[in-house]
Protein backbone atom coordinates (compact mmCIF):
# COMPACT_ATOMS: atom_id res chain seq x y z
CA UNK A 1 0.00 0.00 0.00
CA UNK A 2 1.18 3.51 -0.72
CA UNK A 3 1.96 5.82 2.17
CA UNK A 4 0.51 9.23 2.64
CA UNK A 5 1.24 11.62 5.41
CA UNK A 6 -1.64 12.20 7.80
CA UNK A 7 -1.41 15.38 9.81
CA UNK A 8 -1.57 15.24 13.59
CA UNK A 9 -4.75 16.28 15.35
CA UNK A 10 -3.50 19.85 15.54
CA UNK A 11 -3.97 21.48 12.17
CA UNK A 12 -6.84 19.31 10.98
CA UNK A 13 -8.84 22.53 10.70
CA UNK A 14 -12.47 22.13 9.81
CA UNK A 15 -14.36 19.33 8.14
CA UNK A 16 -17.13 19.83 5.60
CA UNK A 17 -20.28 18.28 7.02
CA UNK A 18 -23.72 18.26 5.42
CA UNK A 19 -25.85 16.88 8.23
CA UNK A 20 -25.79 15.72 11.83
CA UNK A 21 -28.60 13.34 12.64
CA UNK A 22 -29.42 12.56 16.29
CA UNK A 23 -31.22 9.42 17.46
CA UNK A 24 -30.28 7.39 14.38
CA UNK A 25 -30.99 3.67 14.77
CA UNK A 26 -29.80 2.23 11.43
CA UNK A 27 -26.13 3.23 11.44
CA UNK A 28 -24.69 0.75 13.92
CA UNK A 29 -25.77 -0.58 17.33
CA UNK A 30 -27.99 1.34 19.75
CA UNK A 31 -28.98 4.97 19.53
CA UNK A 32 -26.48 6.99 17.54
CA UNK A 33 -25.59 10.43 16.28
CA UNK A 34 -24.63 10.16 12.62
CA UNK A 35 -22.31 12.78 11.16
CA UNK A 36 -22.51 13.05 7.38
CA UNK A 37 -19.30 14.11 5.61
CA UNK A 38 -19.65 15.93 2.29
CA UNK A 39 -17.79 14.56 -0.72
CA UNK A 40 -17.66 11.05 -2.21
CA UNK A 41 -15.31 9.47 -4.77
CA UNK A 42 -18.04 7.12 -6.04
CA UNK A 43 -20.97 8.03 -8.24
CA UNK A 44 -23.43 5.23 -7.56
CA UNK A 45 -26.33 5.72 -9.94
CA UNK A 46 -28.83 4.73 -7.23
CA UNK A 47 -27.57 7.32 -4.72
CA UNK A 48 -30.47 9.11 -3.04
CA UNK A 49 -28.26 11.71 -1.36
CA UNK A 50 -26.91 13.74 -4.30
CA UNK A 51 -25.90 16.51 -1.88
CA UNK A 52 -23.35 14.10 -0.40
CA UNK A 53 -21.27 13.79 -3.57
CA UNK A 54 -19.73 17.20 -4.34
CA UNK A 55 -16.78 18.22 -2.18
CA UNK A 56 -17.85 21.86 -1.86
CA UNK A 57 -20.83 23.87 -0.67
CA UNK A 58 -24.00 23.80 -2.79
CA UNK A 59 -27.16 25.88 -2.95
CA UNK A 60 -30.33 23.81 -2.59
CA UNK A 61 -33.47 25.47 -4.01
CA UNK A 62 -36.65 23.83 -2.69
CA UNK A 63 -39.18 25.09 -5.21
CA UNK A 64 -42.08 23.42 -3.42
CA UNK A 65 -41.53 25.70 -0.39
CA UNK A 66 -41.06 28.91 -2.38
CA UNK A 67 -43.89 31.41 -1.75
CA UNK A 68 -42.69 33.67 -4.61
CA UNK A 69 -42.04 36.66 -2.38
CA UNK A 70 -38.78 37.26 -4.30
CA UNK A 71 -37.01 38.84 -1.30
CA UNK A 72 -34.03 36.68 -2.17
CA UNK A 73 -33.89 38.10 -5.70
CA UNK A 74 -33.49 41.57 -4.27
CA UNK A 75 -30.65 40.71 -1.88
CA UNK A 76 -28.48 38.54 -4.11
CA UNK A 77 -25.25 40.51 -4.72
CA UNK A 78 -24.46 38.46 -7.84
CA UNK A 79 -27.90 38.78 -9.45
CA UNK A 80 -27.97 35.02 -9.65
CA UNK A 81 -31.64 34.65 -8.66
CA UNK A 82 -34.72 35.45 -10.70
CA UNK A 83 -38.44 34.69 -10.68
CA UNK A 84 -39.22 31.42 -12.45
CA UNK A 85 -41.34 31.29 -15.64
CA UNK A 86 -44.81 32.84 -15.20
CA UNK A 87 -43.77 34.28 -11.82
CA UNK A 88 -43.03 30.78 -10.59
CA UNK A 89 -40.67 29.63 -7.84
CA UNK A 90 -37.31 31.34 -7.85
CA UNK A 91 -34.55 29.93 -10.09
CA UNK A 92 -30.78 30.22 -9.70
CA UNK A 93 -28.10 30.82 -12.29
CA UNK A 94 -25.41 28.61 -10.77
CA UNK A 95 -22.71 30.09 -12.99
CA UNK A 96 -23.20 33.44 -11.24
CA UNK A 97 -23.79 32.19 -7.68
CA UNK A 98 -20.76 32.33 -5.36
CA UNK A 99 -22.54 30.49 -2.51
CA UNK A 100 -22.41 33.48 -0.17
CA UNK A 101 -25.60 32.29 1.58
CA UNK A 102 -27.25 35.71 1.90
CA UNK A 103 -30.39 34.48 0.12
CA UNK A 104 -30.76 31.50 2.46
CA UNK A 105 -30.59 33.83 5.46
CA UNK A 106 -33.26 36.02 3.88
CA UNK A 107 -35.76 33.32 2.92
CA UNK A 108 -38.23 32.84 5.77
CA UNK A 109 -39.82 29.86 3.99
CA UNK A 110 -36.68 27.74 4.28
CA UNK A 111 -36.75 27.27 0.50
CA UNK A 112 -33.06 28.05 0.12
CA UNK A 113 -30.23 26.29 1.89
CA UNK A 114 -26.49 26.24 1.59
CA UNK A 115 -25.66 22.55 1.93
CA UNK A 116 -22.49 21.99 3.89
CA UNK A 117 -21.05 23.44 7.10
CA UNK A 118 -17.43 23.74 8.04
CA UNK A 119 -17.07 22.46 11.61
CA UNK A 120 -14.19 21.72 13.95
CA UNK A 121 -13.54 18.42 15.72
CA UNK A 122 -14.45 20.04 19.04
CA UNK A 123 -17.73 21.44 17.75
CA UNK A 124 -18.82 18.06 16.44
CA UNK A 125 -17.66 16.17 19.52
CA UNK A 126 -19.48 18.66 21.78
CA UNK A 127 -22.65 18.25 19.75
CA UNK A 128 -22.43 14.46 19.88
CA UNK A 129 -21.66 14.43 23.61
CA UNK A 130 -25.11 15.90 24.33
CA UNK A 131 -26.54 12.41 23.78
CA UNK A 132 -23.97 10.50 25.81
CA UNK A 133 -26.67 9.25 28.19
CA UNK A 134 -28.61 7.66 25.29
CA UNK A 135 -25.43 6.15 23.90
CA UNK A 136 -24.52 4.62 27.26
CA UNK A 137 -27.99 3.22 27.90
CA UNK A 138 -28.43 1.73 24.41
CA UNK A 139 -24.91 0.62 23.53
CA UNK A 140 -24.85 3.30 20.85
CA UNK A 141 -22.43 6.05 19.91
CA UNK A 142 -21.40 8.15 16.97
CA UNK A 143 -21.21 7.06 13.33
CA UNK A 144 -19.16 8.90 10.72
CA UNK A 145 -20.95 8.56 7.40
CA UNK A 146 -21.38 10.47 4.19
CA UNK A 147 -20.49 10.88 1.41
CA UNK A 148 -17.20 9.28 2.28
CA UNK A 149 -15.65 10.30 5.64
CA UNK A 150 -12.21 9.15 4.50
CA UNK A 151 -12.25 11.67 1.65
CA UNK A 152 -11.40 14.07 4.53
CA UNK A 153 -8.88 11.69 6.11
CA UNK A 154 -7.07 13.77 8.72
CA UNK A 155 -10.29 15.30 9.95
CA UNK A 156 -12.15 11.98 10.14
CA UNK A 157 -9.33 10.31 12.09
CA UNK A 158 -8.98 13.28 14.44
CA UNK A 159 -12.71 13.17 15.13
CA UNK A 160 -12.65 9.42 15.84
CA UNK A 161 -9.72 9.91 18.21
CA UNK A 162 -11.39 12.82 19.99
CA UNK A 163 -14.62 10.87 20.49
CA UNK A 164 -12.67 7.90 21.86
CA UNK A 165 -10.78 10.23 24.21
CA UNK A 166 -14.17 11.39 25.50
CA UNK A 167 -15.30 7.80 26.08
CA UNK A 168 -17.79 7.73 23.18
CA UNK A 169 -17.91 4.61 21.03
CA UNK A 170 -17.66 5.14 17.29
CA UNK A 171 -18.43 3.52 13.96
CA UNK A 172 -17.02 4.45 10.56
CA UNK A 173 -19.37 3.95 7.60
CA UNK A 174 -17.16 3.75 4.52
CA UNK A 175 -17.27 2.86 0.85
CA UNK A 176 -13.75 1.49 1.30
CA UNK A 177 -12.43 3.61 -1.55
CA UNK A 178 -9.62 5.27 0.37
CA UNK A 179 -5.88 5.19 0.74
CA UNK A 180 -5.02 1.92 2.52
CA UNK A 181 -3.00 3.54 5.30
CA UNK A 182 -5.76 6.04 5.97
CA UNK A 183 -8.31 3.25 6.27
CA UNK A 184 -6.11 1.26 8.64
CA UNK A 185 -5.49 4.26 10.88
CA UNK A 186 -9.17 5.10 10.90
CA UNK A 187 -10.07 1.51 11.74
CA UNK A 188 -7.65 1.57 14.69
CA UNK A 189 -9.44 4.67 15.99
CA UNK A 190 -12.97 3.29 15.52
CA UNK A 191 -14.87 0.59 17.42
CA UNK A 192 -16.78 -0.71 14.40
CA UNK A 193 -16.52 -0.44 10.63
CA UNK A 194 -19.61 -0.40 8.42
CA UNK A 195 -18.27 -1.36 4.99
CA UNK A 196 -20.23 -1.15 1.75
CA UNK A 197 -20.11 -4.04 -0.70
CA UNK A 198 -21.85 -3.39 -3.98
CA UNK A 199 -20.98 -5.51 -7.00
CA UNK A 200 -18.38 -8.28 -7.29
CA UNK A 201 -17.81 -8.04 -11.05
CA UNK A 202 -15.38 -5.20 -11.68
CA UNK A 203 -16.76 -4.13 -15.06
CA UNK A 204 -20.28 -3.95 -13.64
CA UNK A 205 -18.97 -2.10 -10.59
CA UNK A 206 -17.37 0.49 -12.86
CA UNK A 207 -20.54 0.82 -14.89
CA UNK A 208 -22.85 1.41 -11.91
CA UNK A 209 -20.57 3.31 -9.50
CA UNK A 210 -18.01 4.96 -11.78
CA UNK A 211 -15.01 3.24 -10.13
CA UNK A 212 -13.23 -0.12 -9.96
CA UNK A 213 -13.82 -2.34 -6.91
CA UNK A 214 -10.18 -3.56 -6.79
CA UNK A 215 -8.93 -1.15 -4.10
CA UNK A 216 -12.18 -1.49 -2.14
CA UNK A 217 -11.75 -5.27 -1.93
CA UNK A 218 -8.01 -5.05 -1.18
CA UNK A 219 -8.72 -2.63 1.66
CA UNK A 220 -11.39 -4.92 3.07
CA UNK A 221 -8.98 -7.88 3.07
CA UNK A 222 -6.33 -5.84 4.94
CA UNK A 223 -8.88 -4.42 7.33
CA UNK A 224 -10.23 -7.82 8.18
CA UNK A 225 -6.76 -9.06 9.11
CA UNK A 226 -6.55 -6.36 11.82
CA UNK A 227 -9.56 -7.48 13.81
CA UNK A 228 -11.72 -4.35 14.12
CA UNK A 229 -15.27 -5.72 13.83
CA UNK A 230 -16.84 -5.15 10.41
CA UNK A 231 -20.49 -5.03 9.42
CA UNK A 232 -21.00 -5.36 5.69
CA UNK A 233 -23.76 -3.31 4.08
CA UNK A 234 -25.11 -4.34 0.68
CA UNK A 235 -27.59 -2.06 -1.11
CA UNK A 236 -29.72 -4.25 -3.39
CA UNK A 237 -31.26 -3.12 -6.68
CA UNK A 238 -33.23 -5.48 -8.93
CA UNK A 239 -31.31 -6.34 -12.09
CA UNK A 240 -28.12 -4.65 -10.84
CA UNK A 241 -26.69 -6.81 -8.06
CA UNK A 242 -29.47 -9.10 -6.79
CA UNK A 243 -28.76 -11.98 -9.22
CA UNK A 244 -27.62 -15.43 -8.07
CA UNK A 245 -24.12 -14.97 -9.48
CA UNK A 246 -23.38 -11.75 -7.60
CA UNK A 247 -24.88 -13.05 -4.36
CA UNK A 248 -22.86 -16.28 -4.54
CA UNK A 249 -19.66 -14.36 -5.31
CA UNK A 250 -20.34 -11.93 -2.43
CA UNK A 251 -20.85 -14.79 0.02
CA UNK A 252 -17.71 -16.60 -1.19
CA UNK A 253 -15.63 -13.41 -0.74
CA UNK A 254 -17.03 -12.53 2.67
CA UNK A 255 -16.46 -16.06 3.99
CA UNK A 256 -12.71 -15.44 3.64
CA UNK A 257 -12.87 -12.43 6.00
CA UNK A 258 -12.84 -13.29 9.72
CA UNK A 259 -13.63 -9.76 10.92
CA UNK A 260 -17.06 -9.73 9.27
CA UNK A 261 -19.58 -10.01 12.11
CA UNK A 262 -22.79 -9.15 10.35
CA UNK A 263 -24.30 -8.48 6.91
CA UNK A 264 -27.03 -5.86 6.42
CA UNK A 265 -29.07 -6.20 3.23
CA UNK A 266 -30.41 -2.77 2.30
CA UNK A 267 -33.34 -2.89 -0.07
CA UNK A 268 -33.27 -0.03 -2.59
CA UNK A 269 -35.97 2.52 -2.00
CA UNK A 270 -37.12 5.14 -4.43
CA UNK A 271 -36.32 8.59 -3.20
CA UNK A 272 -34.04 11.49 -3.71
CA UNK A 273 -35.69 12.76 -6.90
CA UNK A 274 -36.69 16.01 -5.21
CA UNK A 275 -33.11 16.59 -4.06
CA UNK A 276 -31.71 16.09 -7.58
CA UNK A 277 -34.29 18.61 -8.81
CA UNK A 278 -33.44 21.10 -6.07
CA UNK A 279 -29.76 20.92 -7.04
CA UNK A 280 -30.49 21.18 -10.79
CA UNK A 281 -29.01 17.71 -11.25
CA UNK A 282 -31.96 15.85 -12.76
CA UNK A 283 -29.75 14.65 -15.63
CA UNK A 284 -27.93 12.45 -13.07
CA UNK A 285 -31.10 11.00 -11.56
CA UNK A 286 -31.92 7.35 -12.29
CA UNK A 287 -34.76 5.19 -11.02
CA UNK A 288 -34.18 1.56 -10.08
CA UNK A 289 -36.50 -1.16 -8.86
CA UNK A 290 -36.11 -2.80 -5.46
CA UNK A 291 -35.90 -6.59 -5.35
CA UNK A 292 -39.23 -8.22 -4.47
CA UNK A 293 -39.93 -9.31 -0.88
CA UNK A 294 -39.49 -12.93 -1.99
CA UNK A 295 -36.14 -12.18 -3.60
CA UNK A 296 -34.93 -10.32 -0.49
CA UNK A 297 -35.90 -13.30 1.65
CA UNK A 298 -34.11 -15.71 -0.72
CA UNK A 299 -30.96 -13.59 -0.50
CA UNK A 300 -31.26 -13.30 3.28
CA UNK A 301 -31.54 -17.08 3.56
CA UNK A 302 -28.48 -17.60 1.35
CA UNK A 303 -26.35 -15.43 3.67
CA UNK A 304 -27.82 -17.02 6.80
CA UNK A 305 -27.17 -20.55 5.50
CA UNK A 306 -23.58 -19.53 4.80
CA UNK A 307 -23.25 -18.75 8.51
CA UNK A 308 -23.62 -14.97 8.55
CA UNK A 309 -25.56 -12.96 11.07
CA UNK A 310 -27.73 -11.22 8.52
CA UNK A 311 -30.38 -8.53 8.80
CA UNK A 312 -32.77 -6.94 6.35
CA UNK A 313 -32.86 -3.18 6.34
CA UNK A 314 -29.73 -2.43 8.40
The residues binding ligand SF4 (CB under 6 A) are 59, 66-72, 76, 78, 80-81, 90, 92, 97-103, 106-107, 109, 111-112
Q: Least distance in Å: CB of 84 to ligand SF4? A: 9
Say if residues 178 and 145 touch (Cβ distance below 8 Å).
Answer: no
Residue with Cβ nearer ligand SF4 (118 or 221): 118
Query: In the bound complex, what is the minimum distance in angstroms from residue 64's beta carbon to ligand SF4?
Result: 10
Tell me how far apart the alpha carbons of residues 134 and 151 are, in angstroms, rounded to a whole number: 29
Which of 107/160 has CB closer to ligand SF4?
107
**Whose Cβ is closer to ligand SF4: residue 80's or residue 186's?**
80
* Shortest Å distance, C-beta 78 to ligand SF4: 4
- Please report how close the Cβ of residue 184 comes to ligand SF4 at its closest, in angstroms: 39
Region label for 23, one of left (φ > 0), alpha (ψ between -120 and 50) or beta (otherwise): left
DSSP reduced 3-state for 211: coil
Task: Give CA angle at 15 (215, 124), nearest 5°.
Answer: 115
Of the pair 77, 210, the CB lying nearest ligand SF4 is at 77
The distance of closest approach from Cβ of residue 98 to ligand SF4 in the complex, given in angstroms and rounded to an integer, is 5
E-strand ranges in the chain read 14-24, 32-37, 58-61, 81-84, 88-92, 112-115, 117-120, 141-145, 170-174, 192-196, 230-236, 260-267, 310-312
Nearer to ligand SF4 (CB atom), residue 101 or residue 307: 101
Give the residue with the Cβ less far from ligand SF4, 75 or 306.
75
Q: How far is the CB of 208 from ligand SF4 (least distance, A)?
A: 33
Q: How far apart, in Å, are the Cα atoms of 237 and each of 173, 280, 295?
A: 20, 25, 11
Cβ partners under 8 Å of residue 274, min gap 6:
62, 64
Amino acid sequence: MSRIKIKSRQGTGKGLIFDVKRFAVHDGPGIRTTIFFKGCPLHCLWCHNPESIARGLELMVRSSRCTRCYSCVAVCPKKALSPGPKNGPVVVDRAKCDLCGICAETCVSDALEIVGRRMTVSELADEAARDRLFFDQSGGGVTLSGGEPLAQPAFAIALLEELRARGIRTALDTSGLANGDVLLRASAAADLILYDLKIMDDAAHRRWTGVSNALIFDNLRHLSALGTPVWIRIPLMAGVNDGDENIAASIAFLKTLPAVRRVDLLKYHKGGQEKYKNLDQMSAFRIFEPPSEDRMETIRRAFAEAGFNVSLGG
